[in-house]
Amino acid sequence: MKAKAATQESTEKFAARFSGAAKGHFRKAQDLTVSSLGIGTYLGNWDEATDQSYKDAVEKFVDSGGNVIDTAANYRFQRSERSIGEALSNLAEKGFERGEIVICTKGGYLPFDGEPPTDVRAYFEENFVKTGIATFDDLAGGSHCMAPGYLQNQIEQSLKNMNIDSIDVYYVHNPESQLSAVDKNTFEVRLSAAFELLEEMRSQGKLKYYGAATCNGFRVAPQDSGYHSLEKMVSIARQVGGADHGFKFVQLPFNLMMPEAYLLNNQAFDGKAISAIEAAKNLGVSVMASASILQGKLSSNLPENLRRIFGNLESDAQTSLQFVRSTPGISTALVGMSDVEHVAENMKLSDVEPASEADFQELFTK
């Protein structure tokens, strides 16, 4: 029987398809073999031309040796997930099995459907309040919800959008958004309820792993109102899911302009202050890096010494990606790629070994 989700055996098979890839392009994240680059699907217009462009880009990405696909229900108002679904169907016809590809999506923000509504409150009331899925009290900042019924609804919708049976990594999307509306204790109660639902979805085979995808939560100081303790999150997951809980991934911004996850000792573990990346390692959590080229801002005008440290690659975008994929503790560097030309340029890195740790450390010593 064919796998319904990514598996150790199938992802190893995927890597074997690209045996000519440079050492280090494929690496382990939990029991999966993942590519050092992942395709992101966040930006773009909500129109058919962009839908087609993303579908083609995802196919090109997998054909080029990438097997980590990142999306969210709210990306382009569910259209990115639907484009991925079409791409997966075409890839299956080419012989790629579902189990070879690691599909990550998120829930939390209101997804809308195809385009933004004229009245957000009315949309939430009609689709979620009147149906008993969530209440207005569950909604933070007018746009974020992580109530169990809401997350269950969003998981089912994402599965339908992508025409798959199971999601490999499901993130609670920017949970720090809740902290604008509730205190820490209430937040932790809500997070515990969300994790309990995600564990139930795992038991039903609809999820393999789950985690948190954050914008600021793991980057800021502990005294910041939007701060997340990774140790606390894992503790909550352990409480609701036991020793075999599924909280095994976090996604956080990391790039040349935002290196806090590596440099800032803002996380506690065993009584010591360490970085988010080091804390994740100690807690058995894999790290996916978002915003690897900061939405294109790091694709030009990099200093010459930086280009030299990372091997004088063809482009500044490749150099920025090389920094992220070479960072110890990063499983995959995610980068938005909405057209095949960007995929072709970025995936040239699959033929380049990540920088050595000595070369990487040179960046911080000079």
The bridge status of strand 247-253 relative to strand 167-173 is: unpaired
Q: Which run of H or of E encompasses 99?
A: none
CA distances from 88 to 106, 195, 230 (A): 18, 28, 33
Q: Give the list of residues 6+ apart from residue 201 with CB closer than 8 angstroms, or none.
A: 152, 155, 170, 207, 210
pLDDT of residue 298: 87
By three-state DSSP, how is residue 90 classified? helix
Q: Give the integer Cα–Cα distance in Å for 176 and 213.
A: 10
pLDDT per residue as tens digits for the range 60-96: 999 999 999 999 999 999 999 999 999 999 999 999 9
As a whole-number percent, the residues of the chain with pLDDT over 70 amount to 99
By three-state DSSP, how is residue 102 classified? strand
pLDDT of residue 309: 87
Q: What angle do CA 138, 180, 134 make, to 5 degrees?
A: 10
Q: What residue ranges define each of the domains in the chain, with the CATH number in brackets?
A: 8-362 (3.20.20.100)
pTM of the model as a whole: 0.97
The number of beta carbons lying within 10 Å of the beta carbon of residue 365 is 6
Q: What angle do CA 94, 97, 101 make, to 5 degrees?
A: 110
- The answer to whether 66 and 33 are in contact (CB under 8 A) is no
